Amino acid sequence: MTATAARLWLALAIGFLASSVALGQSVAKPLPPSRLCADQSCVTAAAGATAIGAMKWHPGWYIRIQPDLYPTTNIYKKNPSPLSQILAFMDSIKHEPIKGVLVAGVWSQWEGNTAGDYSAGFATVDAILAKAAANGQYVMLDFWIGSTSTNWTAVFPAYLVQPAYGGTDAAGRYGITPLSGNGGLTARIWQPATSDRLIALYKAYAARYDAHPNLEMVSLGETSINVALGTDGYTGDSLDAQLRRQLSEIHAAYSTTQLRLNANWYLSPAAMVSLVNFAGQLGFAIGGPDTFPYKAVWGNQAYTGTLPGATDWRGRVPFVSEVQDPELGGKGGTYTNEQLYLAAMQGVSTESGGATGSGSDKFAAVQPQYWVWYMNAWSGGPEQKWSTGTLPFIRSINGAVFSTSCPRAYSKGCATN
């Protein structure tokens, strides 16, 4: 595809999207309960809550930022943002063609050192959602189960960490495992006890925020875990069993907030297909942190039906295309905003000289309803930086996504108000 043809396609797509009408339904539904409880903790449901059943639906562009509740530990490689900066950034984009923000953080930012203490995380999310409500924006949350940091008690609540690394899990009930090769850490979510705590975390945030009209989506951590089989009891069967349990129990806790399986790589292509099909049947959005214009990603292939045994979930459940720094000048390459955009929207491969690869096993278009893009100030050149590349690009396409139609799996409709 030539640059002129690409721009023509973008202009046509924007015109089509502008004339589209979302298929949300408007039917009477009971109001949510005024008291919601999880993990022995009860909260009052948010005022102005969305009616139970209709899924909150505000597709578009979201910018990924991450809070730093522990600014002295420097646990991030890239630009941690204190709450004040997050709120200021939300103000700075409120008049842009951007729907809101994705706020990502490690486990210790959502739960304190004592099991069930979510007070610090709640305070942060309360402030972010209040700002979103004031600005007419929406929020996604992403709870990380690991980190590239090796500061164990900065990344995880102390009750999950063994005493040898500064924690209080003397009985070894939970545990943290170093990742293979890159010096990072992950919680042992393949163990039922640790999986229980992760499920409790999601349920606590569901109890407090599912009814909040400005919480759009909550993500489950990446499906890829870089741990050697056999390490600390890790097996493919144990991980798969616990992921499916997490998907089922977390799904049951959220009535109106979308859930997303952060699918990129997994145990095998066949296992990826099976897990995506399981999540799709529950109505999960699909989409991992790997948007590449050159590389087959198992999660994408499982979603588009191009792996053996896969189902084409396009139009049935949403897809979230996320761009992080690996493709903005990092280990994945250096690509323009347009190349990354067309890879997901049309299945355009840079390897094929710009030819459309839609329908192929490698570059089928995932056709996203949501874009998540790093607020990148560190990687690549001017084209890849937020203020000089990405924001001008979003403006040039007016924040267009592939479709704003309500997914068919949302049988009770979409709430767009």
CA distances from 175 to 70, 180, 237, 301 (A): 21, 16, 19, 33
Taking the CB of residue 128, how many other CB atoms lie within 10 A of it?
Answer: 24
pLDDT value at position 273? 98
What does the pLDDT read at residue 321? 97
Region of 413 on the Ramachandran plot (φ > 0 left; ψ -120 to 50 alpha; else beta): left
250, 202 contact by CB (below 8 A): yes
Residue 352 has a pLDDT of 54
For range 259-272, the mean pLDDT = 96
Which residues touch 15 (CB under 8 Å, ≥6 apart)? none
- Residue 186 belongs to domain with CATH number: 3.20.20.80
Average pLDDT of span 309-332: 93
Express as a percent the part of the chain with pLDDT over 70. Answer: 80
Provide the CA 409 distance to its chain's centre, in angstroms.
19
Residue 38's pLDDT band, with cuts at 50, 70 and 90, is very low
- pLDDT tens, 343-371? 999 887 765 555 455 445 567 899 999 99
Q: Would you put residue 89 in left (φ > 0), alpha (ψ -120 to 50) or beta?
A: alpha
CA distance 283 to 289: 19
Structure tokens, 110: 């959502």
Q: Which two tokens stand for residue 122?
A: 């709640």
Token pair recorded at residue 184: 């990072």
CA distances from residue 337 to 94, 175, 298, 322, 389 in whole angstroms, order as listed: 21, 40, 22, 12, 7
Residue 94 and residue 135 in contact, taking contact as beta carbons nearer than 8 Å: yes
Number of domains within the chain: 1
List the beta bridge partners of residue 146. 186
Q: How far is CA 392 from the centre of its chain?
A: 23
Which pLDDT belongs to residue 93? 96
d(CA 382, CA 390): 9
SS3 of residue 90 by DSSP: helix
- Residue 245: its pLDDT value, please? 98
Question: Do 253 and 32 contact (CB within 8 A), yes or no?
Answer: no
Residues 33-55: b if buried by 16+ CB within 10 A, e if exposed = eeebebbebebebbeebbbebbb
Q: Could you read off the pLDDT of 39-71 as tens digits, one per residue?
A: 443 434 333 333 346 999 999 999 998 665 333
Q: What sign for the dihedral angle of Cα 66, 299, 213, 93?
A: positive
> What pLDDT, on the 0 to 100 scale, is given for residue 11?
40
Distance CA 56, CA 242 (A): 27
Q: Is 373 helix (H, G, I), strand (E, B) or coil?
A: strand
Q: What is the pLDDT of residue 377?
A: 82
H or E element at residue 322: strand 320-323
Count of beta carbons in the 10 Å neighbourhood of residue 123: 12
- Mean pLDDT score of the chain: 84
Residue 82 contacts by C-beta under 8 Å, 6 or more apart in sequence? 67, 68, 71
Cβ neighbourhood burial of 7 (10 Å; 0-12, 13-18, 19+): middle
261-to-69, 247, 319 alpha-carbon distances in Å: 25, 8, 10
Strand segments, DSSP code E, in 198-239 are: 215-220
Query: Residue 397: which domain range?
Result: 3-415
Mean pLDDT of 144-163: 90
Q: Report the pLDDT value the prediction gives residue 379, as an integer from 0 to 100.
A: 86
What burial class does residue 22 get, using C-beta atoms within 10 Å of its C-beta: 0-12 exposed, 13-18 middle, 19+ buried?
middle
What integer is the mean pLDDT of 238-242? 97
Residue 386: name the closest of 10, 103, 65 by CA: 65
Determine the residue type at 217.
M
Q: Is 27 helix (H, G, I), strand (E, B) or coil?
A: coil
What HEC string does 168-206 produce? CCCCCCCCEEECCCCCCEEECCCCHHHHHHHHHHHHHHH
| pLDDT tens digits for range 114-150 | 999 999 999 999 999 999 999 999 999 999 998 888 8
Whole-angstrom distance, CA of residue 186 vs CA of residue 313: 30
